[in-house]
A = this chain, B = another copy of it.
């Protein structure tokens, strides 16, 4: 694994490749060329090849890529070759929706514990998961072998929750709060900013004409 100098956008596209390859595998397709893969994702064939070679040589000239092995390979690269347990912090409307989101288990992520601080939520079940108090967070990270958290808390609480996650030794945070988190270098943070996404779209719509 050469982890030196892989463009971030390339990693992002790896997810797209994986999704498409899983589809192809289900349809029974055995091999696929960079061009075919590219077309269905509206990318260029060169892009696909370049992206894949950042991580190794998976194709065969004249043939293309074998679907099944490449799926395995990409999962390994993305760290989803085994099921990854995840905790959720913040069980509001968004948190509840994420708890039930099928796309997570489908792609190898299982939310195994949920935390909040509202007393009236503690002890309740959402699906198979019981809501616990945030103070028990440390225990849970030990109990399950687990290194990622999903944060769906109000903006004003985000930094404190992030601090507690880092203190508990979390490896990465998927942050839904519209806040710039202050975290140690070694903790990976990836933010999903819903309102900002709408603003991006709004900009596109209202300047394209």
Contacts and interface: CB of A to CB of B under 8 A. Distances in A.
Nearest to A152: B97
A171 B203 contact: no
B201 A192 contact: no
Contact of A190 (B18, B42, B150, B204): B204
A112 interface: no
A12 B197 CA distance: 8
Given A94-B97, A180-B16, A196-B16, A188 B174 contact: no
Nearest to A187: B205
Interface string A1-13: 1010000000110
B93 A100 contact: yes
A12 B178 contact: no
Interface residues of A, number: 59
Chain copies in the assembled complex? 2
B41 A103 contact: no
Interface-centre pick from A41, A150, A173, A207 (highest chain B CB count, 10 A):
A207
A46 interface: no
Interface in A68-87: 77-80, 84, 86
A198 B192 CA distance: 10
A171 to B, nearest CB: 4
A68 B107 CA distance: 44
A6 B100 CA distance: 38
Contacts of A205: 79, 147-148, 171-172, 188
Contacts of A84: 202
Nearest to A196: B15
A91 to B, nearest CB: 11
Given A19-B178, A96-B97, 5 more contacts: A15-B199, A78-B206, A93-B96, A103-B178, A104-B198
7 smallest beta-carbon distances between A and B, as pairs: A79-B206, A188-B204, A15-B196, A97-B97, A172-B205, A79-B202, A103-B195
